[in-house]
Amino acid sequence: MEQREQAATGRTGKLNSQMLGKLVVIAVLMFGFGYALVPLYKKICEITGVNVVTQKDASAQGNTQIDKTRTITVEFDANAQGPWRFRPTIASMQVHPGEMAQVVYEVVNTQARSIDAQAIPSYAPQQAAAHFKKVECFCFQQQTLAPNQAKQMPVVFYIDPALPKDVKTITLSYTFFEVGGSGKKAI
């Protein structure tokens, strides 16, 4: 009987050692997977195009040629179609085609209520519209302004070097409309 108990104890010890080995292997594999997860995630996002930040950076990096031989004057304009003050913080700037630039528009809600609004851009001359590339713009989405809120809104852009040589000045104009509104309907 004692021999049976020793044999059973030996078998149990052997099974315990095998289980411990398996658990160590699993723990090492889990650590390796966790360690490789970040680069793996980045690669999957890059391949599938899911990572929006990488896409924006790629479009900005694709614009590496700046035409230093030309200077374009970009004029900024704002039209307010609602209960607010809306204006660019500067009237114009000089840029080289291909060069990143930024302008800031400022809006102030003069009402004691929240307002949803959207900016609609327009360009002059019309042929410049295809060459005015916005990387970041408040016009990409609807804006919500709290009562009496002032907001600074950037526009990051570059002028495509393929802009016709005879275009020396571009006007970027925004009209800021109330969305939804106060119950008044346009006819």
Q: Is residue 167 part of a domain?
A: yes
Q: Is residue 93 part of a domain?
A: yes
Are both 38 and 78 inside the same structural domain? no
Are both 166 and 86 inside the same structural domain? yes
Structural domains in the chain (count) = 2
d(Cα 179, Cα 176) in Å, to the nearest integer? 9
Are both 35 and 97 inside the same structural domain? no
Confirm whether pTM is higher than 0.75: no
Are both 120 and 171 inside the same structural domain? yes
57-67 pLDDT, tens digit per residue, is: 444 444 458 88
d(Cα 107, Cα 151) in Å, to the nearest integer? 5
22-66 pLDDT, tens digit per residue, is: 999 999 998 888 877 777 777 777 777 665 443 444 444 444 588
89-107 pLDDT, tens digit per residue, is: 999 999 999 999 999 999 9
Eight-state DSSP code of residue 62: T
Q: Which residue's structure tokens are 């966790």?
A: 34
Q: Is residue 99 part of a domain?
A: yes
77 DSSP β-pair partners = 173
Q: Is residue 187 part of a domain?
A: no
Range of the domain at 153: 72-178
